[in-house]
């Protein structure tokens, strides 16, 4: 029957674009049967050439991770062939962790899911911040203590709802429940589906309250905090570039993906003022904004071409800037968008205008997300009137 043939395959489902990463999978061919195992590594098309990762600073480390994955797959298959137990129908599950290797066949069954999550977390945590890595570890530790799901067969709609009930009884808020628990479980379920370990995602059939308003309400800077970061003297170009990108985002409301697509040649004059218009990369909704003076100063500083960097590096650097400026918040690139909205609303800009700047499909979305902030603004404004009348 010959020997199994291994090959790393890039973007098998043709989903990658110039700005969207594609998955790298391991194709295993044996006895005219092919199986695909996900490696967990994703790169842009320009970063994959002739079976190797190129054109990125962590190329060597990622390539090492791929080599280790292939080595592990070869070892597992060789052991199974020697034992006469090779079954291509389940080989992907064995490599992925659903079925245990022969050398660890006596591991208690209830640890199967937790073990699989740890394996996937090792890859998912690569290159992330210490805080992000710790959140993966905290979720897995809690999930194992809870014990409500121990095998892949336990991942059902009913059990996910039971998990949600347990978290609600602990008094956690919907936003925290989703982002610290359900989001991690959902990501591992997607990995398992990609490896053929699960047929469907139970999250598709149920509704978990995520409370999207909490995200915007909690993730913005006050004027004083923003000014400290904007004016903070910084020791390196990397930090200055990240800070300038954040300032530009805050005065334009652009998301990271639209910041990446920003093209200064598309700026046009309206009544003598620079205006920029486009479509959001995420939703294709139109947006329009005036390039205020601080945003134009950033552009001119870099000859009208923004000093872009990867979103991961940008977030890492802007967190460092926040710490140096004494801002005790987990700032990321998306905070700039929320800060922009709150800055406009708190300065009396109308809801319709803010909705157009942000590229929302309707003012209803803007109102739902920022309603609580508007309530605070109204209360403060009326308190000021009250003080003047006394």
Q: What is the pLDDT tens value at each position of the chain, 390 positions in all?
A: 567 788 899 999 999 999 999 999 988 887 778 888 888 888 999 999 888 898 888 888 788 888 888 888 888 777 777 777 666 666 676 665 544 444 433 333 334 788 889 888 988 888 776 767 888 899 999 998 898 998 888 899 999 999 999 998 888 878 778 888 998 999 999 988 887 788 889 998 888 877 554 444 467 888 889 999 999 999 899 999 999 999 999 999 898 999 999 999 999 998 899 999 988 887 788 888 889 999 999 999 999 999 999 988 998 999 999 989 888 888 988 899 888 888 888 777 877 888 788 877 666 666 655 655 555 554 455 455 556 555
Structure tokens that stand for 152 in this block: 């892949």
- Report which secondary-structure segment, H or E, holds 295: helix 293-301
Give every CB contact of residue 221 below 8 A, 6+ residues apart in sequence.
229, 250, 327, 329, 331, 335, 339
| CATH class of segment(s) 107-210 | mainly alpha
Q: DSSP letter at 103?
A: G
Q: Is the pTM of this model over 0.75?
A: no
Residue with tokens 């926040």: 322
Structure tokens that stand for 90 in this block: 């389940």
User: Residue length, the chain?
Assistant: 390
Structure tokens that stand for 118 in this block: 């740890």
Q: DSSP letter at 182?
A: I
CATH architecture assigned to 217-389? Orthogonal Bundle (1.10)
Nearest-angstrom CA–CA distance, 343 and 230: 14
């Amino acid at each position: 029957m010959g020997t199994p043939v291994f090959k790393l395959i890039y973007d098998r489902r043709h989903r990658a674009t110039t700005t969207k990463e594609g998955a790298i999978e391991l194709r295993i061919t044996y006895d005219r049967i092919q199986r695909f195992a996900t490696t967990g590594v994703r790169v842009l098309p320009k970063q994959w050439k002739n079976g190797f990762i190129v054109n990125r600073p962590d190329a060597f480390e990622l390539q090492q991770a791929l080599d280790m994955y292939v080595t592990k797959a070869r070892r597992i298959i060789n052991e199974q062939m020697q034992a006469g137990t090779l079954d291509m129908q389940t080989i992907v599950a064995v490599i992925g962790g659903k079925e245990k290797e022969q050398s660890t066949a006596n591991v208690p069954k209830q640890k199967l899911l937790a073990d699989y999550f740890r394996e996937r977390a090792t890859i998912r945590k690569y290159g992330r911040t210490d805080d992000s890595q710790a959140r993966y570890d905290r979720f897995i530790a809690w999930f194992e203590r809870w014990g409500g799901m121990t095998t892949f067969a336990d991942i059902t709609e009913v059990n996910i709802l039971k998990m949600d009930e347990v978290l609600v009884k602990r008094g956690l808020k919907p936003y925290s429940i989703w982002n610290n628990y359900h989001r991690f479980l959902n990501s591992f379920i997607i990995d398992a589906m990609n490896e053929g370990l699960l047929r469907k995602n139970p999250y598709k059939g149920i509704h978990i309250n995520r409370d999207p308003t909490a995200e915007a309400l909690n993730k913005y800077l006050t004027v004083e905090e923003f000014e400290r970061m904007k004016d903070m003297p910084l020791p390196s170009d990397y930090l200055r570039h990240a800070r300038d990108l954040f300032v530009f985002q805050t005065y334009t409301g652009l998301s990271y993906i639209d910041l990446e697509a920003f093209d200064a040649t598309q700026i046009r004059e309206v009544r003598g003022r620079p205006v920029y218009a486009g479509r959001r990369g995420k939703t294709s909704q139109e947006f329009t904004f005036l390039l205020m003076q601080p945003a134009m100063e950033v552009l001119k500083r870099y000859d009208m071409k923004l000093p872009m960097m990867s979103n991961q590096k940008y977030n890492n650097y802007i967190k460092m800037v926040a710490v140096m400026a004494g801002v005790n918040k987990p700032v990321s690139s998306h905070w700039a968008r929320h800060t922009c909205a709150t800055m406009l609303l708190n300065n009396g800009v109308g809801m319709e205008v803010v909705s157009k700047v942000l590229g929302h499909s309707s003012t209803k979305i803007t109102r739902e997300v920022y309603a609580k902030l508007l309530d605070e603004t109204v209360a403060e404004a009326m308190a000021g009137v009250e003080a003047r009348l006394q």
